[in-house]
């Protein structure tokens, strides 16, 4: 009888000692900045009617999850969205081979970050392991990313610039369309999204 009471007491302590913790998913209204799906093709054209095609290979965002706190699972303090698009002309000399993007929402500091990276391939990058990465980012602080009415996070258009890049120095992201254009300093042209 005493053994049953001890087991019962341990069971009650274990059950009542555990709480449920809900980790927020990535805010769905922010997915519109990169409205892609796996298998989508991103198409860009320049002023000379040259084209670039990128296939979305990896697109995901964190979903809302609930854990028992006694499982020692804790929310990471951030939630994110990521994508990777690979060019069909990946090993073509002088090509832009990959575009990746992400957004990270900190659930602790109320900070939202948007990132973009474009990788080039070609002879000019031989001293940089044959590749060149151009990186862009923008951070907005003290905003509630989980409030869909807080439209001032980035506005409808995000312009990312970086003068210290290898090839691409500007990327434009439009809410509802994704990456709409980027400027190629090597070819001195603007690549604009086409449908």
Query: What pLDDT sits at residue 65?
Result: 77
Query: What pLDDT sits at residue 1?
Result: 60
Mean pLDDT score, 99-106: 89
- Mean pLDDT, the chain, rounded, equals 80
- The C-alpha atoms of residue 129 and residue 125 are separated, in whole angstroms, by 7
Query: What pLDDT sits at residue 112?
Result: 87
Mean pLDDT score, 69-74: 59
Q: Given pLDDT bands bounded at 50, 70 and 90, which one contains residue 126?
A: very low
Residues 84-96: pLDDT tens digits? 888 866 444 567 8
Query: What pLDDT sits at residue 120?
Result: 77
Phi then psi for residue 28, to 5 deg, are: -60, -30
Query: What pLDDT sits at residue 182?
Result: 95
Torsion on CA atoms 141, 103, 118, 91, rounded to nearest 10? 170
Q: Given pLDDT bands bounded at 50, 70 and 90, which one contains residue 167?
A: confident
Q: Which of 158, 180, 31 is nearest to 99 (CA)?
A: 180
Q: Residue 148: helix, strand or coil by DSSP?
A: coil
Domain residue extents for the chain: 19-194
Query: What pLDDT sits at residue 159?
Result: 94
The yes-or-no verdict on residue 125 having pLDDT over 80 is: no
The yes-or-no verdict on residue 27 having pLDDT over 60 is: yes
The CA–CA distances, whole Å, from 135 to 83, 88, 167, 182, 191 equal 15, 21, 10, 12, 17
The yes-or-no verdict on residue 143 having pLDDT over 90 is: no
- The C-alpha atoms of residue 154 and residue 33 are separated, in whole angstroms, by 9
The yes-or-no verdict on residue 14 having pLDDT over 90 is: no
């Amino acid at each position: 009888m005493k053994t049953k009471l001890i087991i019962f007491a341990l069971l009650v302590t274990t059950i009542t000692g555990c709480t449920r913790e809900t980790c927020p998913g990535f805010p769905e209204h922010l997915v519109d900045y990169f409205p892609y799906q796996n298998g989508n093709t991103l198409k860009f054209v320049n002023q000379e009617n040259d084209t670039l095609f990128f296939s979305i290979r990896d697109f995901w965002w964190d979903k809302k999850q609930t854990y028992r706190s006694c499982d020692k699972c804790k929310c990471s303090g951030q939630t994110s969205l990521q994508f990777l698009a690979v060019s069909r002309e990946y090993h073509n000399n002088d090509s832009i081979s990959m575009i990746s993007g992400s957004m990270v929402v900190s659930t602790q500091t109320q900070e939202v970050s948007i990132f973009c990276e474009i990788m080039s391939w070609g002879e000019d990058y031989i001293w940089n392991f044959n590749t060149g990465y151009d990186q862009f980012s923008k951070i907005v602080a003290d905003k509630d990313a989980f409030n869909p009415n807080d439209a001032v996070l980035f506005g409808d258009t995000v312009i990312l610039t970086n003068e210290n890049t290898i090839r691409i120095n500007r990327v434009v992201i439009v809410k509802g369309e994704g990456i709409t254009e980027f400027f190629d300093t090597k070819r001195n042209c603007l690549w604009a999204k086409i449908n």
